[in-house]
């Protein structure tokens, strides 16, 4: 593995959040024409989480982000870059990353959303790692978060059994120790865009009463074709990224694939020849959470003690675009990470309260300033 000293992006924090509401296959079988057995056998999913009415992509991503910053012991005011990978942002604009930046009080951070379907998080991790290696930033908060339940057609059995909500986050920090994010592969084939899309709400079909009546604001998917695409690119991207770092598939200590369908994962793992005990899946409990799937799975694997210093981890993803991505990481942090002292947790919570007050104050000040200026202009006239 990477022997020479070089500036690298290392994972120093991780966090995840899943809403408390569990939607089981049994419940789904009472909503659409399906059965518990069909869902389990064809997808491997047993249940998924659904955001509460007061939860959004930003609120869930914030929880994951705070947990990741806690582990990294990184003061939110020192975060330099926030990327939120999502296809279900709170708004088309402002970006969810900016909402997070404000709520975290990350006043030194640039922030943007990244949309690459279910591959969004691995794309974002690659972008952040490369910016760190280039010396542009010393740290980055990379989040994958989705509220897919809001764009799922709960009357379409072809799609509604697959998706769930949640968020995961990683903190990347620069140092010259061995390991970190070693390489990434990013791929796309836009000719397959029609296979998985949200038809309306963009500039082609802006929202109208017709687009709503025609259920065009929900996920539309050709499941069979997406399956074939996924089964092809998942092993291919994994092999490519491992080759890029001069290693072999046999060297992978932990494979964290996109959690879309158990059969896709099995087919890829079989093609690659990775032993099942080196593959992490939590699909049965969360379903496909799109951009949140890889960081939620990776964070859970780390919490479960599935990684050790020096391990080669490969995360690979595929989805709408069509797009795919894979990244190779050499784990560099001794585990388990010691619990932070209570006073530090209390201090960080205080910082978040302060951030909320500061945000409120800035909004108030902006409004007052605008009114004063209007009054001034009126007097000038």
Q: Does 80 bind ligand COA (CB under 6 A)?
A: no
| Among candidate residues 14, 2, 9, the one with its CA nearest the CA of residue 336 | 14
Looking only at residues 116 through 145 of this chain, which bind ligand COA when binding is defined by CB under 6 A? 118
Can residue 170 be called a binding residue for ligand COA (CB under 6 A)? no
Q: Does 223 bind ligand COA (CB under 6 A)?
A: yes
Q: Are strands 81-85 and 110-114 parallel, antiparallel or unpaired?
A: parallel
Instruction: Tell me if residue 353 is catalytic.
Output: no
Do 301 and 254 touch, CB atoms closer than 8 A? yes
Which residues partner with 254 through β-bridges?
313
DSSP for 286-331, written as a single string: H-B-GGGHHHHHHHHHHHTT---TT-EEEEEEEETTTEEEEEEEE-
Burial of 110-129, coded b for 16+ CB within 10 Å and e otherwise, reads: bbebbbbbbbbbbbbbbbbb
Please tell me whether residue 315 binds ligand COA under the rule CB under 6 A: no
What distance in Å separates the CA atoms of residue 209 and residue 211, rounded to the nearest whole number? 6
140, containing H or E segment = strand 139-147
- The number of residues that bind ligand COA (CB under 6 A) is 20
The CB-nearest residue to ligand COA is 223
For ligand COA, the closer CB: 76 or 321:
321
CA atoms within 13 A on the CB side of 127: 20
Q: Say whether residue 158 binds ligand COA (CB under 6 A).
A: yes
Q: Does 62 bind ligand COA (CB under 6 A)?
A: no
Q: Which of 139, 261, 282, 288 is catalytic?
A: 288
Site for ligand COA contains 240 (CB under 6 A): no
Shortest approach of ligand COA to residue 219 CB, angstroms?
9
What backbone phi and psi angles, to 5 degrees, belong to 24?
Answer: -90, 165
Options 31-39, 70-78, 232-240, 304-312: segment touching ligand COA (CB under 6 A): 31-39
Residue given tokens 């089964």 in the structure block: 231
Q: Judged by CB under 6 A, does residue 25 bind ligand COA?
A: no
Q: Which is nearer to ligand COA, 174 or 326 (CB)?
A: 326
Give the side-chain half-sphere CA count within 13 A for 171. 26
DSSP 8-state class, residue 116:
B
Active-site residue, 258 included: yes
| HSE-CB of 215 using CA atoms within 13 angstroms | 8
Give the residue carrying structure tokens 């919570």: 349
Site for ligand COA (CB under 6 A): which residue of 150, 157, 205, 285? 157
Q: Which is nearer to ligand COA, 137 or 229 (CB)?
A: 229
Least separation in angstroms between CB 332 and ligand COA? 29
* Least Cβ distance, residue 110 to ligand COA (angstroms): 28
Return the ∠ at Cα 149 (arms to 58 and 96), rounded to 5°: 20
Establish if 42 lies at the interface with ligand COA (CB under 6 A).
yes
Active-site annotation holds for 118? yes
> Residue 34 or residue 267: which is nearer to ligand COA going by CB?
34
Q: Spell out the alpha helix ranges (H) of the chain.
A: 25-29, 36-43, 57-72, 96-104, 120-133, 157-160, 209-213, 223-244, 262-272, 283-286, 293-303, 342-380
The span of 39-47, 183-191, 201-209, 269-277 binding ligand COA (CB under 6 A) equals: 39-47
Choosing from 116, 128, 260, 294, the residue that interacts with ligand COA (CB under 6 A) is: 260
Give the nearer residue to ligand COA in terms of CB position, either 29 or 175: 29
Extract the tokens encoding 136: 């542009």
Q: In angstroms, what is the minimal distance from the CB of 118 to ligand COA?
A: 4
76 binds ligand COA (CB under 6 A): no
Nearest approach, Cβ of residue 344 and ligand COA (Å)? 38
Q: Kindly name the residue from 10, 25, 98, 118 that is annotated as catalytic.
A: 118
Footprint on this chain of ligand COA (rule: CB under 6 A) = 34, 38-39, 42-43, 118, 157-158, 161, 196, 221, 223-224, 226-227, 230, 260-261, 288, 319
Q: Which residues are catalytic?
A: 118, 258, 288
């Amino acid at each position: 593995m990477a022997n020479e000293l070089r500036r690298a992006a290392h994972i120093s924090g991780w966090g995840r959040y899943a809403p408390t509401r569990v939607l089981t296959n049994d419940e789904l079988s009472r909503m659409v024409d399906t059965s518990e057995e069909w869902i389990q056998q064809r997808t491997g999913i047993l249940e998924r989480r659904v955001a509460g009415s007061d939860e959004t992509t930003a609120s869930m991503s914030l929880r994951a982000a705070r947990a990741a910053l806690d582990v990294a012991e990184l003061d939110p005011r020192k975060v330099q870059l926030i990327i939120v990978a999502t296809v279900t942002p709170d708004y088309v604009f402002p970006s969810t990353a900016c909402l997070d930046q404000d709520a975290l009080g990350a006043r030194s951070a640039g922030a943007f959303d990244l949309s690459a379907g279910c591959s969004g998080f691995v794309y974002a991790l690659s972008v952040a790692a490369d910016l760190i290696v280039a010396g542009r930033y010393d740290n980055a908060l990379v989040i994958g978060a989705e509220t897919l339940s809001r764009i799922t057609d709960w009357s379409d059995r072809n799609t509604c059994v697959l998706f769930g909500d949640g968020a995961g986050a990683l903190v990347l920090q620069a140092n010259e120790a061995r390991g970190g994010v070693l390489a990434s592969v990013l791929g796309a084939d836009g000719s397959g865009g029609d296979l998985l899309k949200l038809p309306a709400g963009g500039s082609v079909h802006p929202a109208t009463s017709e687009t709503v009546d025609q259920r065009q604001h929900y996920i539309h998917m050709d499941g069979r074709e997406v399956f074939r695409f996924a089964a092809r690119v998942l092993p291919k991207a994994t092999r490519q990224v491992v080759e890029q770092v001069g290693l072999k598939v046999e060297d992978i200590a932990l494979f964290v694939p996109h959690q879309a369908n158990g059969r896709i994962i099995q087919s890829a793992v079989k093609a690659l020849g990775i032993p099942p005990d080196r593959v992490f899946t939590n699909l049965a409990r969360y379903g496909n959470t799109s951009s949140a799937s890889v960081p939620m799975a990776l964070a859970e694997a780390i919490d479960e003690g599935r990684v050790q210093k020096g391990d080669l981890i490969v995360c690979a993803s595929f989805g709408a675009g069509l797009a795919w991505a894979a990244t190779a990481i050499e784990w560099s942090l001794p585990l388990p990470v010691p619990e932070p002292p209570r006073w530090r947790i209390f201090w960080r919570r205080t910082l978040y309260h302060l951030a909320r007050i500061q945000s409120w104050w800035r909004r108030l000040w902006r409004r007052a300033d605008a009114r004063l200026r209007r009054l001034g202009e009126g007097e000038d006239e």
